[in-house]
Chain A
Amino acid sequence: MTANPELTVDPRLQTPTWDGGLPSRSVRRRAGVMAVCSSLAVVLYFVWLLRPSRIGNPYLFGILLMAEVFNVVQALGFWWTCVFTGRRRRPLPPPIAEPDVDVFIPTYNEPVDIVEATVAASAALRGARVRVFLLDDGNRDAMKALARRYGVGYVRRTLHQGAKAGNINHALGRTSAPFILVLDCDHVPHPDLLVRTLPLFGGERVAFVQTPQYYANASTNTIAAAAWSQQALFFGPIARGKAAHDSMFCCGTNVVFRRSALDSVGGFPETSVTEDFELSVQLHEHGWASEYVPSVLANGLGPEDLASYVSQQHRWARGCVGAIPSVARSRLPLRQKLQYLLSASYFLSGWTVMVYLALPVIRIVTGIQPLSGSSADGFLAAFAPYFAFAIATVASVGAGAYTFAAYSLATSTFWIHVHATYRALLRRPSRFVVTPKQGDVVRQWRPAAPTLVVLGVLVSAALYGLVRDRTPATLNNVGFLALHVCVLSHGVATAVLPALATPAAVTSSRQNEEVAA
């Protein structure tokens, strides 16, 4: 077996820079302190907000209230999840000696050089008798040759249905090991992945053990870095908390399954675009448990351009929003049900962003506003602690993992949530789209178009307001618009200026190399 020399510069082969975030104890302590402070701030704000005299335009007030309530529910859910991080302590089960593990690497249209590193590393996994299978839904001979080169199994099917879930289910029927490791084809596993995860199957009801979905290209691409920053908050305090609540769901890759558990629910559901989420619900409904190991045990690639990010987020949003009714109807214990609802309803938060974007525009253009009967001073006194503690909570509990870039990227793609909700409500079918693994270097107007249109509206409203009058009230709304414009512009900047996708440090390093050359 000969290693490809190009693989030596692959960021997935570097040591990860994330170590799982804060220890559970620190997360608990910080979340507890921030929960108390934030609760006081929330109470202060809502006491101020809910006075009848505050109601300006009743419709707008109602919409604003709904948005604020939604955010507060999400915040409460966040604190609840994090405060109980590590609450449950299981006794360490006896290790399972060298079990058989089938490693599934589903692939569809990814380049060979992306898949090769994953195959090579999978073949070198320790702690089990490993059989690696390359599940090629693209029926490509190059993949077959790759599998042969590394001496791993190659599976292709004649009837392509059920997308990734169908591919895995097809392979499940042709393999037999009691444990299955599923790896996205761009996720290069650490040799000790199975050593770290298999012991957790000592508990007989453990259906799967999830590990973080780490983006190794975060250091070389700003979109991947922002996306990873969002992931880090989830795979840090949130995932630990969910595991403590026995509600950690499967994320589709870097996860080890117990075959009997999969068999008990009939394998992966093939009707959803977020098959992993639906599978987790079903497993928990059947009484299975889940575990989480907060260590990076596989290095993957995050989306490297806005189109890839939008594609990924849209799939997640469509799947999760579509799953809300089924979660609500499920026979899960209340705690798990709430946890799942919290996770799924996160993808409705784009609606609140839309509300916040619209209110200043409406105020400037029509003069209508949701609030009245208050001085700016009074509003600021009630709102400032509420906002400041919300930011401080994310910064503190996430240990700085969540960045402005992550926030701006999430905010600037708020329309994804709106669109996904629309499709879910109309029950429009969605297609499973593989997240591209390599970024495009050209301008991407299409994924940025909705945001650019919104930006145009915001800028126009701000200019209109400034031209019309410069009263403090108008300037205050212009200030809000300026805030939104900055955030949205930052979020979609890489789509319009692709050069910004390369971090300055990398650019500088390349320039140095060129100068040296």
Chain B
Amino acid sequence: MTAIDTEVVERAAPAPAGTRHAVRAHVPALAGQAAAGAGNLVFAVFAAKLLGPDDYSDVVAFLALYLLLHVPASALSAAGALAPDRVGSVRTPVLRIGIVVGGLIAIGCVPLSHALGLPIGLVLALAVAAPGAGLLGLERGLAYGRMRQRALVRSLVTEPVVRIMIGVGLAAAIGPMGAAIGAVLGGYAALYVCTDGFRARRLSSRVLMPSRVEGATADHTAAVIVAVSFVMVAIIQSADLIVANRVLDASAAAQFAVLSTLGGAAVFATATIPMVLMPALTSGRERAASAALGLTVSVGLAIAAFGTLAQPVISGVFGSDITPSAGMIGLYLLAMVSLGVARVLVAHRCATGDGRFALTVVAIVMVVDIASLVAFASSVRSIATVTLLGSVATATVLSFAPVRRERSAAVRLSIPWRYRTGALAMIALCLVAADLRLATNRGLWVDEAISVRQAQLPFGQMLADMRNTDVHPPLHHALLWVTVHVFGTSELSVRLPSLIAGVGLVPAMYWTGRVIYDRRTGWVAAGLAAVAPFCVWYSQEARMYALFMLFAALATGAQVVAVRRGLRRDWILYAVCTAALIWTQYFAFLPVLVQQIGFAWVVWRDRVDRERRRALVRGWLTAMALIAVALIPLVPILHGQFAAYTNRSDGLVPGQAGANSSTIGGAISIYAVGANLIWGVWGYHADGVMVQIAALWPLIMLLLLVLLGRGRSGPSILLLGLVVVPMTMLFVIGSMKRDLFELRYFSGAVPAMLLLGARLVTSTTRRRVAGIAAAGVLTVTMTVGLVDQQLNGANPRLYDFRGALSLVHRGDADDAATGAVATGEPILLYEPSYLADVIAYYAPDIRALPLGSPIPAGTGTVWVLATDRVVGAEDSSAKVGSVLADLQHDRQLVTTTDRPNVHVWELK
């Protein structure tokens, strides 16, 4: 029996269906790919060692073009994997195209050489490689499709081995041309090995033509679709590098190149998984998809974690000046993991007859991604964030969009896979939420710094401090105290409780949406919570508002469950969530009040059914008793805080963007209410943007009209009450005490708003396409809001104390370097006085005094720092101006710097 016969016999056997088998099928290809990656790395290292810098850069440029040539080839691999029966018929055209491309490159080698800055020999080597590139992709696709693992692994390994053996030797002898020859020969050797020699290739196209499973292979269109989709995914992957090279300065572009290299490695590692998946799916292996997805996520996350932790090593390899921070590496690698997941999902869709949808999604994302890159690319972080959003959007839409029922019988087989992937999808959504919440460069602002200062105190002293100076209950501070004492006071450490709460909000919203309405609403609510700008913002802040939202969502869901099911544990869950809610924020009494009205209404509604009413009242009273007990320790703290609050001066209230643009000065107006609603759903934006958005209020009329004739439900009215009552009450309270009308104080209403939005989306239409479109539109608008909120420096909530104080640091360092320090120790004057904590956080070693304090004798440089709000206010602005004028009597104003909402003056 020949080797090929053996393969036929093996493939005729029934396919093992277990997850373990499905995972095992990937191992050889993954191992081969890893070996290939390692081999390429070794080749690069040798080339770097053997060649001079110029020659090495030529080799690197050649390899980049060589890879570019193989991008369509990898798309052919995908097509071949999906439709191996078609490979035989397209070999000749692919070869012809390759020869034509090679010929064109050869003919135009002189101008190309000038344009690319490469020696002519290397361009000619590229021309020689062209005919083989397409064929190699095709043959590897055939190997994937026929599950010829041995040939595949041989091919993957042969390429770098030949490249090293021949290329390194020739490079040492004749320079870059030798390395290029090695690379080209490596490609042809891989092609030869992959086909088991040309004899085997001929046989494979004839003997193996019939498919293993009758009618299971995909048609020509599906093969084309998968090929085009993979090309577009490759474009999404590489577009950011091109844009970065054009937009960023040399140093930043180099930094991004390092990121892209690391990302490329991450993608390379999982590139075989969708190829192995497709033939498995067409063979009817049910668990192949979940195994492939799990494997991609696992391998990808492992690489992301490794890349993040190994930042010092990477820094050693590439140089510390162009190596991005660990957070940035992690962020970008997660984007690449998402792209890997997207590839698997594209493969799944194409293999199960839903390729057109995948193609459409990828095409849209590609266009949006490129447009976003063009629009927002201003820094390494912004480009990486756009890539992250694009890749995550692709993965998310492909994960959650339903598979069309009629497309394929295989889809019906895959129903269990959809259920099983529910958990995976939630993990993916949480990862997305975590990514978005981690993707921030925002420094701490005043309130956060105060919390951090308090959390550094001994626990009892912290509580005492809160009792005398704060207005919030201590649950968040207690959690913060733990994280500060365990992880330190880095920005990430102090924001960890909020981050966890913000990510936890996603499954909490799913659960609440599901128990109140249905699974679909739960998923939409979770998706909205993941990208909601307001939720993201407060998950990035070392304050209690993310916890507030989490407990508000849980308490709402728990209340509905308690009323509907009424088990003891339901009431206890409700009591715990509600008590935690009040322990997090005193304004929680407003939603809790609405909840009690809800209970009372249910008791009244069910008054006829005595038994049910009795059970309800019993559960309700029990929950109330538990809550009351849980709140007893809070009473003395509340009492102390109330006394302190009545005697305190005004706190820092960020400008009410939008409200200031109304004609009623700084007073609360109906526009202010509208602005708060917009903030709650679409996030914080610059005042100008807010005024423009607020001007579109007629669309709210449309919303009201759309609600006409819609059925009412108790939970919907409860949710509406959870939005309207707190907002109305705070509107009334705020009109008496201005600083209390503040969106974050009713952030507990935001989950209810998102749940209502999700319900509106899922119940507006029963048409699937319209439903997906509605959810998509809402998500896209929120994502746009998120991008603007996070990246627009004109965001009125953004206080860049870190940037401002780093200027002060840098100035002092410059002084020290130039010897100016000899003139005296510098000093920082700040206004308002409560900036002390944030200054202590970012500039603990700088001598800082409140503005108006006497300046000690012998002081050198004087820095004055004030917030935008101070500068905008008449009295405090006059104070700052007066001090600056006084200082200029014996000093000169050297620089004036404006950071978002913070101003710095340097006087020497």
- Alpha-carbon distance A402/B710, docked complex (angstroms): 9
Least CB separation from A392: chain B residue: B704
Are A403 and B765 touching (Cβ within 8 A)? no
Q: CB-defined interface of B653-682 with A at 8 Å, one 1/0 digit per residue?
A: 000000001111000011100100000000
Q: Is B605 an interface residue (CB 8 A)?
A: no
Are A381 and B697 touching (Cβ within 8 A)? no
- What residues of A have a CB within 8 angstroms of the CB of B671 in the complex? 376-377, 380
Are A406 and B709 touching (Cβ within 8 A)? yes
Q: Which one of B207-215, B301-309, B687-695 is at the interface?
A: B687-695
Q: Is A384 an interface residue (CB 8 A)?
A: yes
- What residues of A have a CB within 8 angstroms of the CB of B317 in the complex? none
Q: Which one of A179-187, A201-209, A364-372, A481-489 is at the interface?
A: A481-489
- Alpha-carbon distance A381/B670, docked complex (angstroms): 6
Q: Is B889 an interface residue (CB 8 A)?
A: no
Q: Is A463 an interface residue (CB 8 A)?
A: no
Q: Is B708 an interface residue (CB 8 A)?
A: yes
Q: Is A498 an interface residue (CB 8 A)?
A: no
Docked complex: B474-520 residues within 8 A CB-CB of A: none
- What residues of B have a CB within 8 angstroms of the CB of A391 in the complex? 704-705, 708
Among A387, A403, A472, the residue within 8 A (CB) of B695 is A472
Q: CB-defined interface of A388-403 with B at 8 Å, one 1/0 digit per residue?
A: 1001001100001111
Q: Is B199 an interface residue (CB 8 A)?
A: no
Q: CB-defined interface of A492-515 with B at 8 Å, one 1/0 digit per residue?
A: 000000000001110110010001
List 27 contacting pairs A-B, 8 Å CB cutoff, sorted by A. Answer: A229-B709, A375-B663, A375-B664, A376-B695, A380-B671, A380-B697, A387-B701, A388-B704, A391-B705, A395-B707, A400-B712, A403-B709, A403-B710, A406-B709, A408-B705, A472-B694, A476-B697, A479-B698, A479-B699, A483-B702, A504-B765, A504-B767, A504-B770, A505-B766, A511-B406, A515-B405, A515-B406
Q: CB-defined interface of B64-86 with A at 8 Å, one 1/0 digit per residue?
A: 00000000000000000000000
Are A478 and B692 touching (Cβ within 8 A)? no
- Alpha-carbon distance A492/B670, docked complex (angstroms): 34
Among A378, A402, A482, A508, the residue within 8 A (CB) of B709 is A402
- What residues of A have a CB within 8 angstroms of the CB of B704 in the complex? 387-388, 391
Are A404 and B694 touching (Cβ within 8 A)? no
B657 to chain A, nearest CB (A): 14
Among A380, A394, A504, the residue within 8 A (CB) of B670 is A380
- Alpha-carbon distance A472/B705, docked complex (angstroms): 23
Q: Which residue of A377, A406, A480, A482 has the most chain B CB atoms within 10 A of its CB atom?
A: A377
B466 to chain A, nearest CB (A): 38
A477 to chain B, nearest CB (A): 9
- With contacts A475-B692, A508-B766 taken as known, whether A480 is within 8 angstroms of B698 at the C-beta atoms is yes
Q: Is A470 an interface residue (CB 8 A)?
A: yes
Docked complex: B751-790 residues within 8 A CB-CB of A: 765-768, 770
- What residues of B have a CB within 8 angstroms of the CB of A234 in the complex? none
- Alpha-carbon distance A473/B701, docked complex (angstroms): 17
Among A384, A400, A408, A507, the residue within 8 A (CB) of B710 is A400
Q: Which residue of B709, B767, B768 has the most chain A CB atoms within 10 A of its CB atom?
A: B709
Q: Is A46 an interface residue (CB 8 A)?
A: no
- Alpha-carbon distance A503/B692, docked complex (angstroms): 37
B676 to chain A, nearest CB (A): 14
Q: Is B460 an interface residue (CB 8 A)?
A: no
- What residues of B have a CB within 8 angstroms of the CB of A381 in the complex? 669-670
Least CB separation from B701: chain A residue: A483
Q: Is B854 an interface residue (CB 8 A)?
A: no
- Alpha-carbon distance A405/B765, docked complex (angstroms): 12
Are B708 and A475 touching (Cβ within 8 A)? no
Least CB separation from B768: chain A residue: A504
Are B708 and A394 touching (Cβ within 8 A)? yes
Are A487 and B708 touching (Cβ within 8 A)? no
- What residues of B have a CB within 8 angstroms of the CB of A475 in the complex? 692, 695-696
Are B697 and A403 touching (Cβ within 8 A)? no
Q: Is A351 an interface residue (CB 8 A)?
A: no
Least CB separation from B662: chain A residue: A377
Least CB separation from A490: chain B residue: B706
B14 to chain A, nearest CB (A): 27
Would you call the interface of chain A mostly helix, strand, loop, or mixed? helix
Are B766 and A487 touching (Cβ within 8 A)? no
Are A401 and B767 touching (Cβ within 8 A)? no
Are A403 and B708 touching (Cβ within 8 A)? yes
- Alpha-carbon distance A213/B705, docked complex (angstroms): 25
- Alpha-carbon distance A331/B135, docked complex (angstroms): 95
Least CB separation from B712: chain A residue: A400
Are B691 and A472 touching (Cβ within 8 A)? yes
Q: Is B856 an interface residue (CB 8 A)?
A: no
- What residues of A have a CB within 8 angstroms of the CB of B674 in the complex? 380
Q: Is B636 an interface residue (CB 8 A)?
A: no
Are A404 and B696 touching (Cβ within 8 A)? no
Q: Is B819 an interface residue (CB 8 A)?
A: no
What residues of chain B have their CB less than 8 Å away from a CB belonging to chain A? 405-406, 661-664, 669-671, 674, 691-692, 694-699, 701-702, 704-712, 765-768, 770
- With contacts A375-B662, A376-B671, A380-B671 taken as known, whether A473 is within 8 angstroms of B708 at the C-beta atoms is no
- Alpha-carbon distance A211/B775, docked complex (angstroms): 42
Docked complex: A401-453 residues within 8 A CB-CB of B: 401-408
- Alpha-carbon distance A388/B697, docked complex (angstroms): 13
- With contacts A406-B709, A470-B692 taken as known, whether A482 is within 8 angstroms of B698 at the C-beta atoms is yes
B156 to chain A, nearest CB (A): 43
- Alpha-carbon distance A433/B206, docked complex (angstroms): 71
Least CB separation from A408: chain B residue: B705
Q: Which residue of B694, B697, B712 has the most chain A CB atoms within 10 A of its CB atom?
A: B697
- What residues of B have a CB within 8 angstroms of the CB of A515 in the complex? 405-406
- Alpha-carbon distance A380/B702, docked complex (angstroms): 15
- With contacts A476-B698, A482-B699 taken as known, whether A404 is within 8 angstroms of B709 at the C-beta atoms is yes
- What residues of A have a CB within 8 angstroms of the CB of B695 in the complex? 376, 472-473, 475-476, 479
- What residues of A have a CB within 8 angstroms of the CB of B712 in the complex? 400
B723 to chain A, nearest CB (A): 15
- Alpha-carbon distance A473/B698, docked complex (angstroms): 12
- Alpha-carbon distance A480/B701, docked complex (angstroms): 9
- What residues of A have a CB within 8 angstroms of the CB of B697 in the complex? 380, 476, 479
Please give me the 5 A-B residue pairs with the lowest Cβ-Cβ distance, nearest first.
A403-B709, A504-B766, A479-B698, A472-B695, A375-B663
A224 to chain B, nearest CB (A): 15
- What residues of A have a CB within 8 angstroms of the CB of B770 in the complex? 504
Are B696 and A378 touching (Cβ within 8 A)? no
Inter-chain pairs besides A377-B670, A404-B707, A479-B696, 10 sampled, C-beta below 8 Å: A395-B709, A402-B709, A470-B692, A472-B661, A476-B695, A478-B696, A479-B695, A504-B765, A505-B766, A508-B766
- Alpha-carbon distance A507/B701, docked complex (angstroms): 30
- With contacts A391-B708, A504-B766 taken as known, whether A377 is within 8 angstroms of B698 at the C-beta atoms is no
Are A400 and B670 touching (Cβ within 8 A)? no
A376 to chain B, nearest CB (A): 7
- Alpha-carbon distance A472/B663, docked complex (angstroms): 13
Least CB separation from A384: chain B residue: B670
Least CB separation from B702: chain A residue: A483
- What residues of B have a CB within 8 angstroms of the CB of A229 in the complex? 709
- With contacts A376-B671, A402-B709 taken as known, whether A472 is within 8 angstroms of B692 at the C-beta atoms is yes
Least CB separation from A406: chain B residue: B709
Are A476 and B696 touching (Cβ within 8 A)? yes
Least CB separation from A478: chain B residue: B696
- With contacts A377-B669, A407-B708, A511-B406 taken as known, whether A483 is within 8 angstroms of B662 at the C-beta atoms is no
Are B705 and A407 touching (Cβ within 8 A)? yes
Are A486 and B696 touching (Cβ within 8 A)? no
B153 to chain A, nearest CB (A): 42
Least CB separation from B674: chain A residue: A380
- What residues of B have a CB within 8 angstroms of the CB of A479 in the complex? 695-699
- Alpha-carbon distance A472/B767, docked complex (angstroms): 35
A400 to chain B, nearest CB (A): 5
Least CB separation from A514: chain B residue: B406
- With contacts A375-B663, A377-B669, A377-B671 taken as known, whether A404 is within 8 angstroms of B698 at the C-beta atoms is no
- Alpha-carbon distance A384/B705, docked complex (angstroms): 13
Least CB separation from B767: chain A residue: A504
